[in-house]
């Protein structure tokens, strides 16, 4: 087999899972229920957030919070302070693609 197969879960509860972590990229899958979010942090690579379900509230740097919806892809440059939340009733599900893999910046 030439290809590799990766699997991700499809829950209706909070989930943060690493799907792919290789030299090329890191791919995470996240599900956030109403009132949950990620700890505020700085992007550790060039990040693409792909929303597949729900509404994401995202604050980048000192900007005002913005809402993004299903079908949108948000690109966040390296080393930007970010805060991801789900304030809405619908479950928020999204994938985070980091390319290059954050190891590129840390050497680990």
Q: Where along the chain do its domains lie?
A: 16-106
CA distances in angstroms from 3 to 6, 40, 98, listed in the order given: 10, 35, 20
Q: Which residue has the higher pLDDT, 107 or 102?
A: 102
Q: pLDDT tens digit string along 2-57?
A: 999 999 998 999 999 999 999 888 999 999 999 999 999 999 999 999 999 999 99
Q: pLDDT tens digit string along 56-77?
A: 999 999 999 999 999 999 999 9
CATH top class, domain 16-106? mainly beta
What is the structure's pLDDT at 23?
85
Q: What angle do CA 55, 57, 22 make, to 5 degrees?
A: 85
What is the structure's pLDDT at 33?
97
Distance (Å, rounded) from C-alpha 75 to C-alpha 16? 19
Which strand (E) or helix (H) includes residue 103?
helix 103-106
The structure's pTM equals: 0.92
């Amino acid at each position: 087999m030439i290809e590799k197969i990766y699997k991700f879960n499809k829950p209706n509860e909070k989930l943060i899972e690493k799907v792919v972590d290789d030299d090329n990229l890191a791919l995470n899958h996240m599900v956030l229920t109403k009132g949950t979010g990620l700890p505020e942090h700085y992007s550790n690579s060039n990040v693409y957030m792909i929303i597949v379900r729900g509404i994401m509230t995202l604050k980048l740097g000192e900007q005002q919070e913005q809402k993004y919806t299903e079908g949108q892809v948000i690109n966040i440059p390296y080393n930007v302070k970010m805060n991801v939340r789900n304030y809405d009733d619908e479950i928020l599900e999204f994938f985070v693609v980091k390319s290059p893999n954050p190891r590129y910046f840390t050497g680990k």
